[in-house]
């Protein structure tokens, strides 16, 4: 699978239920290979595998994923912690079988990089900041999708 990384989580550690006293580590990222399709990728394993893997690429990099495990996602549970994707699948990276490499093919990179700035939600599924200000009371307690642009960055 070749795609541009459009989102990524930090590495987190959890107690390993199978090996008491040790930890398992995880991080996730989302890749996109077309205007319509993107998929979540999860990785679990030892810290010695997960940290270097996470540090090997960042959002905006084009990556090649070899030998991922394809799994059906559990929509309700998965989408609490990961972006909602149009696929009913997710990719799982295995320490023993999977490889993630940054792509160095310039022609592919430029095509994929244009996908980095496309919204991942339906254009009709957003609220503008003006809508929220005007209708704030009626939206109280609801989860909303926002589409906004950064106008400036300063200290």
For residue 72, the domain's CATH number is 2.40.50.140
For residues 133 and 114, give the distance between their C-alpha atoms in angstroms, rounded to a whole number.
32
Residue 21 confidence class, pLDDT cut points 50, 70, 90:
confident
Q: Which domain holds residue 73?
A: 2-114
pLDDT at site 107:
59
Residue 108 is predicted with a pLDDT of: 67
In a domain, 141, yes or no: no
What's the confidence (pLDDT) of residue 57?
94
- Is the per-residue pLDDT at 15 higher than 80? yes
Could you tell me if residue 101 is inside a domain?
A: yes
Q: Is residue 70 part of a domain?
A: yes
Q: Is residue 128 part of a domain?
A: no
Q: Which helix (H) or strand (E) element contains residue 39?
A: strand 38-45
Query: Is 103 within 8 Å of 109 (Cβ atoms)?
Result: yes
58: pLDDT strictly greater than 80: yes
Number of structural domains found in the chain: 1
65 within a domain of the structure (yes/no): yes
Instruction: Give a yes or no: residue 108 inside a domain.
Output: yes
Within a domain: residue 129? no
């Amino acid at each position: 699978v070749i795609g541009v990384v459009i989102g990524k989580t930090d590495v987190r550690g959890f107690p390993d239920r199978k090996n008491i006293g040790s930890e398992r580590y995880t991080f996730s990222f989302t890749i996109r290979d077309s205007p319509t399709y993107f998929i979540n990728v999860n990785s679990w394993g030892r810290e010695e595998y997960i940290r270097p893997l996470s540090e090997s690429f960042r959002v905006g990099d084009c990556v090649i994923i070899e030998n991922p495990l394809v799994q059906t996602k559990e929509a309700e549970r998965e989408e609490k912690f990961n972006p909602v994707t149009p696929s009913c699948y997710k990719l799982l990276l295995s320490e023993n079988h999977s490889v993630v490499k940054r792509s160095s093919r310039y022609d592919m990179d430029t095509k994929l990089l244009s996908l980095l700035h496309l919204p991942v939600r339906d254009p009709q599924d957003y609220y503008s900041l003006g809508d929220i200000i005007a209708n704030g009371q009626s939206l109280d307690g609801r989860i909303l999708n926002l589409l906004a642009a950064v106008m400036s960055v300063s200290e």
